[in-house]
Chain A
Amino acid sequence: MSDVVEKTLTALPSLLSLDSQPGSAKLSSTSKLGNLIRGITELTSKHEEEKLIQRELASIKEQVSSPNTSMRQMKELMVRAIYCEMLGYEASFSYIHAIKLAQQGTALEKRVGYLAVSLFLNESHELLLLLVNTVLKDLQSTNLIEVCMALTVVSQMFPKDMIPAILPLVEEKLNHQKEIIRRKAVLALYKFYLIAPNQVQHIHNKFRKALCDKDPGVMTASLHIYLQMIQENPEGYKDLTASFVTILKQVVGGKLPMDFNYHSVPAPWLQIQLLRILSVLGKNDQSTSEIMYDVLDESLRRAEMNHNITYAILYECVKCIYTIHPKSDLLEKAAKCIGNFVLSPKINLKYLGLKALTYVVQQDPKLALQHQMTIIECLDHPDLIIKRETLELLFRITNAQNVTVIVEKMLDFLRVSTDDYTTIDLVGKVAELAEKYAPDNEWFIETMNTVFSVGGDMMQPDIPNSFLKLLSEGFDSVEEDRKLRLFAVDSYVSLLQGEPGKLPQRFLQVISWVLGEYSHLRAELQPSTVMRLLSKLLDTKNTSSETKTWVLMTMTKLCEGAAGVSVAQEVSEAYSSSLDTVLRQRAQELQHLSQDSELRARVVPRDAGLEPLEVDSSLSFLDGFVSEALAAGAAPYKPPHQRQEELAQAKALSLEPYGLSLPISISSCSIADRQSPTLLSMSSGLSGDSTDLSHKGGSTTLKLDGVKRVWGKEGYLAQREPVEETAQVEVPSPFRSPSQQAEADSSHSQTPTPVPTPEPTQEKQQLASSLFVGLSSQSSVCLMGKSESAPQRFRRKAKSPSSSSGASEQISNSLVSAPSTVDNLLCDNLLDTNITSELAVSSPTQTSQLSQSLTTANGTCDVELTDTKGSNHSLIRDISVAVAADPTPHEDPDKPKDLCLSSHLPAELSGFSHSEITPLCSNQSLDLSACHVQQKDSLVLVVFIYNSSDSDIQQILLELDSDDLEVSGVCGSPVQEVGSQSVAVCQFSLSVKRPSVHVEVSGMVSYQLPVGTPQSAQFSYNLPLTSFIRPLTLSTEEYGTMWLAFSHDTKQNLTLINEGQESLAATLNVLKKKLQLHIVEIIGLEGIVACRLLQDQPCLMHCRVHAGTLAVWLRSPVPDLPDCLMYYCQRALQEH
């Protein structure tokens, strides 16, 4: 058969395409590809297939490298090579030929060549560089098809570094007369923007032109770029809101050509893209949101057809409505929409309904309440995806009252789940809930036991770490701590008596640590008994050597008495010649310490968990090694947060299990990542102290309770009160108090039901009542201004003292305050900060609202305080603000005081710039605010105490404390007494003990009113590390000597602020201005900069312009300081 016939046959389907002839494919089955495909289908075994393909590949290889092969044959060979690769066989020899084909072939062959290139290579492949010239040539071609092909391949992959070579040509194409070329050029620029944003920064105005293009296709394409840019910087594009709204209006109104209709819905892709853009623009911005209300309403109205595509638009609309500044009637419609989704018999819609509910439930818990029965049904849905999404929803509405039921449901799911990713994720969530809302010790320990057993060795290491930290640090009551630990010990001993071989290693490690620390609490438990149980673990085959080291360390703590020593001797002999050096080390330690009880008592004292352990976290002894490696060309170290960022930017598919879901503070990063994991777990085994690091950051994400409290009954919810009430009536509540209820619930789900419920529906209602208990009752609790009925159980001691329960107490205090007018707010310092009772009742939502307007309107006196009734604010913006302002949810009346308070600044400080005056806490008699003043050689914290009551307040005692800071009083005698309606000022001088990105001072004020008992209030104050940074003036020589002397360092590449000649100087000037650094000298492409942390802790910076970025190296004698400063440098440059 000649090639021509073949060719014709292959071409036939496309020729026939217009007459829609079925079976056209069979015609081409005579080609070589057809032969290959038919050959494969006739085979019966994988082995035969492999042989056939290898033969095929060998023949392709021979032909492609033969000089006689024409480009036309090459094209056919490439198609076969693509096919082989698709089957999973490597054909890398053909890559270079694919590039050749794209280069040398005629348009037709080029097309296959480009396709092969785009399928074979990815954008980091080195061969791609060979394509640059071809692309360049084709972009300049007069043949439209060739230009199209070049643009298509460029939009899929292009080497980042070569973008400047073709950028002018692509830009030129934006003005091409053909819309298809313009469209592809826009998409190519989008690709460039994704991989190298700074390369295309200068053509932003051209993007605007594309947005205004007369062809809807080009305009649609430009929205990809806009969505990306707006997500990165919403502020910069607010002016475009009206344009986007107009476009959406036109689309929704059917003004586009019919071609763009999809199942008679006008341009749905365009609509969705616009809705996504609008939601980003309207987020936290009332005025911008107002522009889009109309069009959103219209979109909702128009999308009524019963087709997937309308649901897609509705879903996006709903998301947008819940993201932007809220409007009550839109929210109502959106809620109805979600309801339709959830109730839909179509499973895809149901899934999306649940997803939408999960998204909005934090703002609107009652919506979940309305659909409780559906949610219960979804919990038993046969499709795991639906179940999983339901659990996610329940996770968001968990509170102290329904935690047992929800956690039980999650554990049920975990026991049947086979997917590692789901397991890791859910286990983390269960642990988080257990820690936050555990009703009692037994439940907590048992739940964590299940978490450890099910989560196994896959779970995030911070779960066992924070669990151990929780046990060792304890809570508020010593007795409770003892009980918890005792229960853990009992539980673990019985586990070890069972079949410990089946437990995961991580769990065994936890068990052995706890037994080592706390088994002495159980007096009747002999240490030797525990040691025998543990030694059984050592004999188990599955036990990893890491676990064995944990066990040996535990034994070291336990080996008391003759029996204990003899077990210890036995074990240490067995392992003192182990091949594992760590194990051997531990065995040696055990041997020596078991013989010398006095030494042992000193090395492993009881309750050592609370003693801090000195760790050289910077690993400065490795500096030599590092600099050697760097000199040898090794890549500089990047901290994980930067790597993650880069990863996110690359939009790469992560094949690793989920990263930590909790944000980690810089300081903890620097410690955690500089130590090897083993080292970390070792030290945690010894003291339990270093385990806390990851958790500190973690607790910042526990926003849930704060969020709920904020929502309250403000805004449109108030209008839906009747609905809420009926929902409450539907819930059968056979139990009296929430705590009883929780207890009964747990027994209900674990043991035979105390209340006989024969009918399944009744069972479901029962479940509903236990699942949704918190939602209804909590809101009514809020209404009455009471604090949450069940405060968080395991409240960390070390945490900021004014956490959830404290905050709500303050609120309830305010109820008592005497009503008074707000009129005289503006009078100099005769401020009346009492709030009217109406305001107090009006819930935390308003409080946060006010606090929010406080931050925006800071410093002005003409703030309207009366904007509290009936305004439908709140939602997202308030939530974010309220979280930030959580320790002080009650600062509303302070607002106009800022300016007035600043007049109270001590005269000696008035010349310096001070931060905004931030309210700290307030109650019916006292208002505390503070600001910090940056002086040349010190940082002064000024606390304003304002007595808002009608009587004098005496015996005021203000105490400050901080983990990170050294606090000392400045003025001689502290304030004792503040007269009615007047202000007293305290000053404290602060200096940094241990650098971290944000440092916090917590404090307590106690005082005595003329009548009544002594009172106190707690507060905390955050300030950035940068307020402690001052310029350090040095000569270059001094810099040189100091540089060598410092041991702690960090390196990172930062972005330069602009391209061009003076970029280094400009970048350094920005840093100088924002961070108060001193530029020592700029030499060519390098610059040296110095600063100090108060008082006199220097930090030196060396930077070099390299490959378009700024390679920054920070050094200091203070651990963590370089890392923190790097963080601020990065931020300063990003914000610029």
Chain B
Amino acid sequence: MQFMLLFSRQGKLRLQKWYVPLSDKEKKKITRELVQTVLARKPKMCSFLEWRDLKIVYKRYASLYFCCAIEDQDNELITLEIIHRYVELLDKYFGSVCELDIIFNFEKAYFILDEFLLGGEAQETSKKNVLKAIEQADLLQEDAETPRSVLEEIGLT
């Protein structure tokens, strides 16, 4: 996979993950063009797009578009399921996820994505394992955080 973009129906970018090294200028250009192209497509149309020399696989969930760029020899259908699995993971983690969850907690969405896809390849396809990894990291976060913030509270306020 070359990159993954999440954007809203209004064309606002919600998440971007690039697995190929590109300059910021190129990324912006690609994002702009792609968002336009995908938003212009009608609901009943094919989920796959040929765009430049890439294959774009996209799917809409409520108000959010999930969009992946893959190479020609890659399997389009499995990419569609990668998107779906990611949505399932988000859903499980946030508890019936909505666009706002992703807007306000986008770093969490990134953490989940990083546990699921690594370097553009599916890393772990077991839903349980991905969520376990995230929970462990989150737990550690709480442990490390609580005592310190109490101390700081005393010092600061």
- Which of A's residues lie within 8 Å of B, judged by CB? 2-4, 7, 10-11, 13-17, 19-26, 28-29, 31, 33-34, 37, 70, 72, 79, 82-83, 86-88, 90, 106-108, 111-112, 115, 118-119, 122-124, 143-145, 148, 152, 155-157, 180, 183-184, 187, 190-191, 194, 217, 220-221, 224, 257, 259-260, 262, 267-270, 272, 308-309, 311-312, 315-316, 347-348, 350-352, 382-383, 385-386, 388, 421-422, 650-655, 658
Contacts and interface: CB of A to CB of B under 8 A. Distances in A.
Contact of A347 (B44, B93, B142): B44
Nearest to B100: A25
Contacts of A191: 119
Given A3-B156, A17-B93, 12 more contacts: A2-B157, A4-B152, A13-B101, A22-B96, A111-B137, A115-B110, A115-B114, A156-B114, A184-B123, A348-B77, A352-B76, A421-B51
Interface string B75-119: 111101100010000001111101011011111101100100011
Contact of A259 (B16, B93, B126): B126
Given A183-B124, A187-B119, A348-B76, A28 B46 contact: no
A156 B123 contact: no
B18 to A, nearest CB: 7
A115 B111 contact: yes
Contacts of A24: 94-95, 101
Contact of A26 (B3, B44, B100, B153): B100
Given A262-B81, A385-B46, A155 B107 contact: no
B95 A16 contact: yes
Nearest to B25: A655
Contacts of B156: 2-3
Contacts of B75: 272, 312, 315-316
B45 interface: yes
A128 to B, nearest CB: 11
A493 to B, nearest CB: 39
Contact of B30 (A11, A652, A653): A653
23 contacts: A3-B149, A3-B152, A13-B108, A14-B141, A19-B95, A26-B104, A34-B104, A72-B152, A145-B136, A145-B140, A155-B118, A187-B121, A194-B119, A257-B126, A268-B125, A308-B81, A312-B77, A348-B77, A351-B48, A385-B50, A388-B50, A653-B3, A653-B20
Contacts of B125: 217, 220, 260, 262, 267-270
A259 B105 contact: no
A658 B126 contact: no
Contacts of A309: 77-78, 81
Contacts of A16: 95
- Top 9 nearest A-B pairs by Cβ distance? A20-B95, A312-B77, A122-B21, A259-B126, A25-B100, A25-B101, A108-B141, A312-B78, A25-B104
Contacts of B80: 308, 312, 348
Contacts of A157: 21
Contact of A119 (B52, B95, B98, B110): B110
A1040 B28 CA distance: 53
B62 interface: no
Contacts of A312: 75, 77-78, 80-81
Nearest to B73: A276
Given A112-B107, A148-B137, A122 B48 contact: no
A946 to B, nearest CB: 45
Contacts of A28: 104-105
A383 B46 contact: yes
Contacts of B18: 122
Contacts of A311: 77
A217 B96 contact: no
Contacts of A350: 46
Nearest to A31: B104
Contacts of A7: 145, 149
A315 B77 contact: yes
Contact of A653 (B26, B49, B108, B141): B26
Nearest to A124: B21
A191 B120 CA distance: 10
A167 B44 CA distance: 49
Contacts of B50: 385, 388, 421-422
Contacts of A650: 21
A70 B155 CA distance: 13
Nearest to B19: A156
A383 B48 CA distance: 11
A259 B127 contact: yes
B77 A352 contact: yes
Contacts of A316: 75, 78
Which of A190, A654, A655 gathers the greatest number of chain B CB atoms within 10 Å?
A655
Interface string B22-36: 101010111000000
Contacts of A221: 121, 123
Interface residues of B, number: 82
Contact of A108 (B26, B106, B144): B144
A1078 to B, nearest CB: 42
A347 B46 contact: yes
B112 to A, nearest CB: 11
Contacts of A388: 50
B88 to A, nearest CB: 9
A22 B137 contact: no
Contacts of A20: 92, 95-96
A383 B45 contact: yes
Contacts of B153: 2-4
A316 B110 CA distance: 29
A651 B73 CA distance: 13
Nearest to B114: A152
A21 B46 contact: no
Contacts of B149: 3-4, 7, 72
B140 A107 contact: yes
Contacts of B78: 268-269, 272, 309, 312, 316
A9 to B, nearest CB: 10
Contacts of A115: 107, 110-111, 114
A552 B7 CA distance: 53
A632 to B, nearest CB: 26
B39 interface: no
A347 B49 CA distance: 12
B42 to A, nearest CB: 8
Nearest to A83: B106
A187 B98 CA distance: 31
B137 to A, nearest CB: 5
Nearest to B157: A2
Contact of B95 (A17, A269, A270): A17
Contacts of B76: 348, 351-352
Contacts of B157: 2
A1110 to B, nearest CB: 26
Contacts of B133: 148, 180
Contact of A88 (B28, B30, B69): B28
A145 B98 CA distance: 28
Contacts of A19: 95
Contacts of B108: 13-14
A14 B118 CA distance: 22
A348 B46 contact: yes
A141 to B, nearest CB: 12
Nearest to A143: B140
Contact of B52 (A220, A308, A651, A655): A655
Which of B48, B101, B114, B118 gathers the greatest number of chain A CB atoms within 10 Å?
B118
Which of B108, B114, B127 gathers the greatest number of chain A CB atoms within 10 Å?
B114
Which of B3, B54, B126 gathers the greatest number of chain A CB atoms within 10 Å?
B126
Contacts of A118: 114
B21 to A, nearest CB: 4
A159 B45 CA distance: 41
B128 A259 contact: yes
B107 A82 contact: yes
Contacts of A156: 19, 114, 118-119
Contacts of A652: 20-22
Contacts of B127: 259
